[in-house]
Amino acid sequence: MPLTAATAAREILTGLHEVMARRGSAQAKLDRVVDLIAAAMKSEVCSIYLLRDNSLELFATHGLRKEAVHVTRLALGQGLVGTIAAEGRILNLAEASAHPAFTYLPETGEEKFHSFAGVPIVRRENAAGVLAVQHAEARRYDDVEIEALQTVAMVLSELIAGARLVDGSNRRRQRHGTVRLAGLKLVDGMARGTAVFHEPRVLVEHTVAEDTELERARVYSAFRRMREQIEHMTREAEFGTAGEHQEILETYKMFAYDEGWSRRINEAIDSGLTAEAAIERVQQRTRARMLEIDDPLLKERMHDLEDLSNRLLRIVSGRLETAAKTGLNRDAVLIARNLGPAELLEYDRRRLKAVVLEEGSLTAHVTIVARAMGVPVVGRVPDIRHIANEGDTILVDGHGGTLVVRPNGAVSSSFDGRMAMRQKRRAEYAALRPFPPITKDGRPCTIMVNAGLAEDAEQLEAVGADGIGLFRTEFQFLISATLPGRDSQLRLYRKVLEAAGDKPVVFRTVDIGGDKALPYLADRKDEAENPAMGWRALRLSLSRSTLMKAQARALIEAADRRVLRVMFPMISEPWEYEEARALFEEQVEWARERKRPVPARIEFGAMLEVPSLAELLDQLLPRVDFLSIGTNDLTQFLFAADRADPRLAERYDWLSPAILRFLRRIVQQAAAAKVPVRVCGEMGGRPLEAMALIGLGIDNFSITPAAVGAIKAMIRSLDAAAVGARMEQLLAAPPRSMRKALTDWAKRQGVALE
Ligand code: PEP
Ligand code: MG
């Protein structure tokens, strides 16, 4: 075929356009189409196979025996045509019969043809059929010919969909079958839902252009916009956390300015396609190439290009909104490469059942927010956006960090079984709601929750908690694009206090900086290797006193004649506490002088999460109203083990004698000074750990809301004096595994641990 791809395809497309516009049956149109393609490509055979009832039926042919039409059928995966459809591949063979998948079809009379080329006809990313050409002469087809075939296949997909020749419900997906995937457990919980892509794929509706120059202009301007967006994202990222994200942006940038890519799209436009169809055509080619590539690094790059191609398609078609804007109409499992916390908050909480990310980490803001929303999250699931289709059923087990895409019956029912067990347990916990958390031997405990959003306070009653023991005020900062001003802080604190009613709320002043860096507060010189031990929390607040003053004023005014409870994070030495407290007291004076509302009284607390503070408790305790132990940070500093590093997550145990003895010392000193102690780290939300804490004399917990039922059940089945005695024995001569020793003991005693 001496023509260029563009002219060959263009000639066919013009003809196709006429055929499509004409009246007549779909069958007549297809018969006309195969003649047209065969003539334009000077091909002896041109055939169209369409997927019907899970097999590929010969629908129209030029060159094969007409009697075979609607008779010849191939299963998906069977023969060359079945392979193309099942795998979404292109086949280009000089000698068809030499291919291992070749199946001889005597009724077609194809024995005289040696060469074979076929491309999938793709609809909504699934094969809807196959377009094939054959020649008697044994030769491979040129790239230009294959491209022309792909272009034609695109247009055919529109014709076929318009004529409803393929039955959508019967269409088997290109990506099919049950797939089990493992990722990183980010937020616990189990969920079932339908896959929803955060950035939905655009379905190309019109493939043949009316005005090629207009289409070219549309693509040019879309490219310009896309480049601007990427430049903007790069600038933003420079202020935020670096790492993987930066690398992706670099790759995006490389492709966004890639001449080859824009040229191929332009060529596809030259062949008569619309801008959307041209982008999609080039993307299909990339996808087909991807199937041939083994190099994982290169594959990764190709996925980046696919991302960008989707972006371009969304820009050109003006469909830029995320799935949050369109709204979720069913229980959904949201799928994204990554998400920002604000983007997550845009989703309807009632419908959003789980999130699966290709990236994601334990301390990412989106994880913190999802945890607060009670939405299970599994992260680091590479390729999920290519494995799952929109609308697939997905089962997410946040506890195990696993998921199942398109579960089969057996997998689905075993998952449902486990979920029902959990629900049953939840129902049992819910039945405990009216009962107080009191041990069997009558020791009263307090169970509060950790929170960060206004909605959390509204849930207190439903959860059966005694209050909020840790309100992470930095959440508001993390989800805003700019520094929240005093008024917006005031509104939030007021809302929280009102929703909590008589139940106490302990506000922790902002714990930002370090890994919870805020782009608008970034100070380049403070970028540290070791952010958890860096310029964060109270350290930052004390040196940025305007920030802290604004927060203090907002809290003071919000409390308005009620008791205000505040605590300060990351105190290393008592003077830091004193300075923070003095700042609050000055602000009370300031408010009083201006006749603004002030609290009835303020209770000041210190978080104990830096080990050095434990050495100076004698100095600190007389000055505080309560102590709150942040075991998340405390253990990372005691063990010198980064809490965000998944490789260390299982290494050091919260039940190690080092931690338990350390905590015992704090509890004893605080008890002597009559200062109440609360544990507000994740440790307190686990039944066995909480049991050990009770054994140390702790009776006040602030935990994740989802754990309230389990902890209450444990407390109500426990003899506090007995666990105290057992802990004394064990800590005097620690066994190799405290965990095992405590589990055995709990089982013998009938303590409810799960
Ligand atoms: C802690 O460190 O244990 C704690 C409760 O605070 P955060 O997890 O917010 O650092
Ligand atoms: Mg902390």
The two counts, helices (H) then strands (E), for the chain are 28, 22
Predicted local confidence at residue 1, as pLDDT: 43
Alpha-carbon span 638 to 443, nearest angstrom: 30
Question: What are the tokens at 432?
Answer: 């405990």
Alpha-carbon span 570 to 577, nearest angstrom: 10
pTM for this one? 0.68
Alpha-carbon span 309 to 406, nearest angstrom: 26
Predicted local confidence at residue 649, as pLDDT: 66
Degrees (nearest 5) of the Cα angle 694, 695, 699? 20
DSSP 747: H
The strand pair at 700-703 and 446-451 is best described as parallel
Cβ-Cβ contacts under 8 Å for 205 (sequence gap 6 or more): 158, 276
Predicted local confidence at residue 48, as pLDDT: 96
Mutate which of 369, 472, 473, 662 for ligand 1? The one with the most ligand atoms within 8 Å of its CB, which is 472
> Each residue of 100-141: pLDDT tens digit?
999 888 888 888 899 999 999 988 777 889 999 999 999 899
- Ligand positioned closest to the Cα atom of 571: 2
Alpha-carbon span 631 to 92, nearest angstrom: 62
What Rg value do the Cα atoms of the chain yield, rounded? 32
The percentage of the chain sitting over the pLDDT mark of 70, rounded to a whole number, equals 93
Using the mean position of ligand 2's atoms as its centre, give its distance from the Cα of residue 570 in Å: 7
C-alpha dihedral (103, 108, 113, 117), degrees to nearest 10: -70
Question: What are the tokens at 727?
Answer: 């802990």
Using the mean position of ligand 1's atoms as its centre, give its distance from the Cα of residue 566 in Å: 15
Dump strand ranges (E) for 535-638.
563-568, 601-608, 626-629
Mean pLDDT of the 354-382 span = 84
Q: Which range (21-30, 38-47, 381-390, 513-522) has the least confidence?
A: 513-522
DSSP 389: -
Amino acid at 635: T
How big, in percent rounded to 5, are the helix, strand and coil portions of the chain?
Answer: 50, 15, 30
* Residue reference for tokens 């408010």: 591
Domains of the chain plus CATH, in order, are 5-170 (3.30.450.40), 179-197+330-421 (3.50.30.10), 212-317 (1.10.274.10), 438-749 (3.20.20.60)
**Whether the CB of 572 sits within 6 Å of ligand 1:** no
Predicted local confidence at residue 173, as pLDDT: 43
* Residue reference for tokens 């195990």: 400
Mutate which of 371, 468, 477, 511 for ligand 1? The one with the most ligand atoms within 8 Å of its CB, which is 511
**Whether the CB of 743 sits within 6 Å of ligand 1:** no
Mean pLDDT of the 510-520 span = 73
Using the mean position of ligand 1's atoms as its centre, give its distance from the Cα of residue 242 in Å: 23
Whether the CB-CB separation of 564 and 587 falls below 8 Å is answered with no
Backbone phi, then psi, for 122, in 5-degree steps? -105, 135
**Whether the CB of 680 sits within 6 Å of ligand 1:** yes
> Each residue of 260-293: pLDDT tens digit?
999 999 999 998 899 999 999 998 888 777 777 7
Q: Which numbered atom of ligand 1 lies nearest the CA of 636?
A: 2
> Each residue of 293-339: pLDDT tens digit?
777 777 777 777 888 898 899 999 998 888 988 889 999 999 998 88
Please name the residue ranges forming H helices in 166-209: none
**Whether the CB of 474 sits within 6 Å of ligand 1:** no
Predicted local confidence at residue 243, as pLDDT: 42
Q: Which numbered atom of ligand 1 lies nearest the CA of 702?
A: 5
**Whether the CB of 685 sits within 6 Å of ligand 1:** no
